[in-house]
Structure 1
Amino acid sequence: MQDESSPSWGMLGLRKWLGIAPETRDELLKLVQDSRRFLEPDTVAMLEGVLDLPATKIREVMTPRTAMISLQEDDQLLDILHVLIESAHSRFPIFSADQPENVVGILLVKDLLPCLTEPSVKVDIRALMRHPLFVPESARSDQVLRMLKNTQTHIAIVIDEHGATSGLVTLEDILEEIVGEIEDEHDHIDEDTPLIIPDPKHDTSNAWLVQALTPIEYFNEMLNADFSDDEVETVGGLLLQEIGLVNDLQGQTVELDCWKFTIIEADARSIHLIRAVRK
């Protein structure tokens, strides 16, 4: 009998699944989940993310008003330089000086660059800011993604039913719903946090807290384990490969070899912290 892992068998099996025409979104989602034997775990996760977008309201993805880093239209360049540098953002919402709850524009840092050569010259932010794109809280994430793409915009201001600013959403925020967390050179990574530590709350010495980004090779070396890293590189990826689904991750348990893994911290798209217990 031909090995199920061979490419030809996999393609035949995939054609069989695709030959069953799904009639609803749930049936299509189940079809994707059942294709885990043919597709890479990351591919399945991305397909699930795409299918989840229409069911995800933009209020679930946005950065709330209280967490926004913003400027005011009457700010002076020298007064806001520290904000530009410390935040490392490339786009800032600009609030009205007369109505501080209303966004009146978006400032791109690159539009300020010519002004930096002459810092003594008074900069009028109103003349530099661009017209903002407004979207309602109730908008679907896939609709907003299409709007950002069609308008070649990377940021949108989210408003509530009364027209007041409730937050902002970026192109990256929506893409992360599909591909998971996207970290760039400005994202904070605490290099002092150990990847693996003994679990102080567990009643056995064979329990550890493990960061999901811990390389499998490092986990094997530190805890004398023998997991393969041929298909996935991290402990979190190993668990996602076994679970298959990316929803309701927190609290799920996975038993592999002589280990029991419990997901301690997770969001809708990724695992953050794991308890590993050697049985």
Structure 2
Amino acid sequence: MSDDNSSSWSMRGLKRWLSTAPETRDDLLKLVQDSRQFLEPDTVDMLEGVLDLPATQVREIMTPRPQVTAISSDDDLADILAVVLETEHSRYPVIDSHDNDAVLGILLAKDLLPIMRDRLAGKEVALRLADIVRKPLFISETARSDTLLRSLQRAQVHMAIVVDEFGSVAGVVTMEDLLEEIVGDIVDEHDDLNEDSDINNIIPHPEKAGVWLVQAATLICDCNDELGTNFDDTEVDTMGGLVMQAAGAVSDLQGEVVQIGDWQITVVDVEGRYIRLLELELLPNQGE
């Protein structure tokens, strides 16, 4: 059979397949999944990603606060350029130096170029971040991803500030995060092709046998899969959130130790109010 005849047969088969309109999202998703005999695998994966957006909350795709690189409102040009050169991002939230939960706006790295040009030309130009930052878009961490997409489109921006139920900054989310939900990971010229964040989030302690180092931003489900734990993720998503939930109201989290199930968890690194790194140790006589 020629390619033309095969293509024609596929189109006729697809039309017959679509002759009955799906009544629910699940029906439509099943229809897409069953259409692999007619469509390219990448096309099917993309359609599945689009259909999954309404079922995906913003907090599932955002970058958590501890991993966000931000600019302080009192940083000078040299400080900001050092951050830009180190991280090579194109956008940075600008945080009020007197209030960690007050986002003044989004700084686009390219907006620093006119100031750098004028200073290189010998002109005394002051850096006033309030004059060049873009108005921030805020969105709830429980909002649906398709709602986020429409909000980004309406505001014509590529980054949103994610807030929790108390109005505190929980992280940031970008248009790229949304696209990766649809088409898979997007690798750009700044990404480390050898980096495996899923593995690097959980590693054996280099000096303590039977102890694991776990980044606080690690999803609880990933920790359960990697270490065979059974931590509950119904109320919180990350290991840091799990520890904060267990510790309760503690003013200084550095060195805090909690026991959850068969595991002893120690906070070994914090930044401000945010946990960055944990040690996990299975207690003696608590399993194999």
Give the SS at the match of 1:102. Answer: strand
1: CA distance, partners of 2:50 / 2:188? 22
The answer on 1:156 being equivalent to 2:160 is yes
TM-score, scaled relative to structure 1: 0.65
TM-score, scaled relative to structure 2: 0.63
Give the SS at the match of 2:134. Answer: coil
**Post-superposition CA distance 1:5-63 (Å, at most 9, x none):** 81121111101111011111111000001100000000000000000000000000000
Corresponding residue for residue 167 of structure 1: 171
Q: What is the identity, as a one-letter code, of the residue corresponding to 2:144?
A: R
Corresponding residue for residue 192 of structure 2: 188
Q: What is the identity, as a one-letter code, of the residue corresponding to 1:133?
A: L
Preserved CA contact (<8 Å) 1:134 1:156: yes
The answer on 1:80 being equivalent to 2:84 is no
Give how far 1:81 is off.
1.2
Preserved CA contact (<8 Å) 1:133 1:157: yes
Query: What is the correspondence of 1:41-120 to structure 2 with a 5 Å cutoff?
Result: 41-117=41-117, 118=119
Corresponding residue for residue 177 of structure 1: 181
Give how far 1:101 is off.
2.3
Corresponding residue for residue 24 of structure 1: 24
Give how far 1:82 is off.
1.2
2: CA distance, partners of 1:15 / 1:167? 44
Corresponding residue for residue 12 of structure 1: 12
2: CA distance, partners of 1:111 / 1:8? 52
Consecutive unaligned residues of structure 1, counting only runs of 5 or more, are 194-250, 252-279
Give how far 1:190 is off.
2.9
1: CA distance, partners of 2:2 / 2:22? 28
Give how far 1:2 is off.
9.8
One of 128, 131, 151 as aligned partner of 1:124: 128
The answer on 1:147 being equivalent to 2:151 is yes
Preserved CA contact (<8 Å) 1:77 1:122: no
**Post-superposition CA distance 1:179-215 (Å, at most 9, x none):** 1111111111239x9xxxxxxxxxxxxxxxxxxxxxx
Corresponding residue for residue 196 of structure 1: none
2: CA distance, partners of 1:13 / 1:154? 40
Give the SS at the match of 2:99. Answer: coil
Give the SS at the match of 2:139. Answer: strand
Sequence identity percentage? 57
Give how far 1:146 is off.
1.1
2: CA distance, partners of 1:49 / 1:124? 41
2: CA distance, partners of 1:77 / 1:106? 15
Q: What is the identity, as a one-letter code, of the residue corresponding to 1:174?
A: L
Preserved CA contact (<8 Å) 1:88 1:186: yes
Preserved CA contact (<8 Å) 1:57 1:138: yes
Corresponding residue for residue 281 of structure 2: none
Preserved CA contact (<8 Å) 1:76 1:122: no
Give the SS at the match of 1:112. Answer: helix
Give the SS at the match of 1:161. Answer: coil
2: CA distance, partners of 1:138 / 1:69? 22
Preserved CA contact (<8 Å) 1:70 1:93: yes
Consecutive unaligned residues of structure 2, counting only runs of 5 or more, are 197-224, 226-288
Corresponding residue for residue 137 of structure 1: 141
Give how far 1:122 is off.
3.2
1: CA distance, partners of 2:83 / 2:125? 19
Preserved CA contact (<8 Å) 1:2 1:9: no
Corresponding residue for residue 277 of structure 1: none
Preserved CA contact (<8 Å) 1:74 1:124: no
Give how far 1:100 is off.
1.5
